[in-house]
């Protein structure tokens, strides 16, 4: 069957164009949205992500502030920096690039970020607001997936949606967003019995497991929508997702590519959350 390609690169470009226009209006009023990105250590993947985020900010007119700290930075020093950024009125969003070096407590660091500047939506307050259906900020990757589906006219209401993966960053919030849009949701993980059989029941299948090409055609029912959140390198060193695209695309009605699917949407949603935070802070300062 022929499939619809869920092109995140194209949608992210359209969103960025609209956001650039919004930021231009804010800037004309003397308000410049600001995003602080904190990176600790020299993880090469983290450095690539941070550079991409800086480029995205420049594209839409958001001012980015980078804080690159050495690997041996103490928890006290990192928390002190976050406290200063929480107080800085030029900063609307704070993003601490994960993973952090092992000697730093990620949960403690995330809790220290002011929930109104938590544009990654990892703070327990924002997680709780998402759970009860009124998110201040939605986590960037799951929110990006929902934008992709909505843009393609794929309504999740009443659909059987299967999410493979139960991480706090993707799997759990993905399930919540779909549930709030009236999907029937199953979350699968390493202890799920007969994963293949569960996946074959899915109208919408979302793979977020971090295993290259793990989801083959026999996990997918004819005409399913398949969203691949994975970003891996296969044995040949080629970037690939969790889904065997050539095989699965023959059965899917719609599918995301890797790269160029969910990744650009994650970054676009970070910009959207930063602009939202800026508008919130602007209203507070006016009231």
What are the residues whose beta carbons fall under 8 Å from the beta carbon of 274, sequence distance 6 or more? 33, 34, 35, 57, 62, 92, 93, 119
Q: What is the Cα–Cα distance from 243 to 247, expressed in whole angstroms?
A: 9
Q: Is 54 a catalytic residue?
A: no
Q: Is 120 a catalytic residue?
A: yes
Catalytic residue among 7, 118, 120, 244: 120
Q: Is 53 a catalytic residue?
A: yes
Catalytic residue among 7, 16, 53, 118: 53
Catalytic residue among 97, 117, 203, 228: 97
Residues catalogued as catalytic: 53, 97, 120
């Amino acid at each position: 069957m022929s499939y619809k390609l869920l092109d995140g690169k194209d949608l992210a470009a359209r969103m960025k164009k609209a956001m650039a226009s919004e930021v231009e209006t804010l800037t004309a009023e003397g308000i410049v949205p600001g995003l602080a990105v904190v990176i600790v250590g020299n993880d090469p993947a983290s450095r690539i992500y941070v550079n991409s985020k800086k480029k995205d900010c420049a594209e839409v007119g958001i001012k980015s502030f980078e804080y690159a700290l050495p690997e041996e930075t103490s928890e006290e020093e990192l928390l002190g920096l976050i406290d200063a950024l929480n107080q800085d009125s030029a900063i609307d969003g704070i993003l601490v690039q994960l993973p952090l070096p092992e000697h730093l407590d990620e949960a403690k660091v995330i809790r220290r970020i002011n929930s109104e500047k938590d544009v990654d939506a990892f703070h327990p307050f924002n997680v709780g607001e998402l759970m009860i259906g009124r998110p201040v900020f939605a986590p960037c990757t799951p929110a990006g997936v929902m934008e992709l589906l909505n843009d393609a006219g794929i309504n999740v209401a009443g659909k059987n949606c299967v999410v493979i993966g139960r991480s706090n960053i993707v799997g759990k919030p993905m399930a919540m967003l779909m549930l709030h849009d009236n999907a029937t949701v199953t979350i699968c993980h390493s202890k799920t019995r007969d994963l293949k059989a569960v996946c074959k029941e899915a109208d919408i299948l979302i793979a977020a497991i971090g295993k290259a090409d793990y989801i083959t055609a026999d996990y997918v029912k004819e005409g399913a929508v398949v969203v691949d959140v994975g970003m891996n390198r296969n044995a040949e060193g080629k970037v690939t997702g969790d889904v065997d695209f050539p095989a699965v695309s023959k059965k899917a009605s719609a599918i995301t590519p890797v790269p160029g699917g969910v990744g650009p949407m994650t970054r676009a949603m970070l910009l959207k959350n930063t602009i939202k935070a800026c508008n919130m802070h602007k209203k507070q300062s006016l009231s």
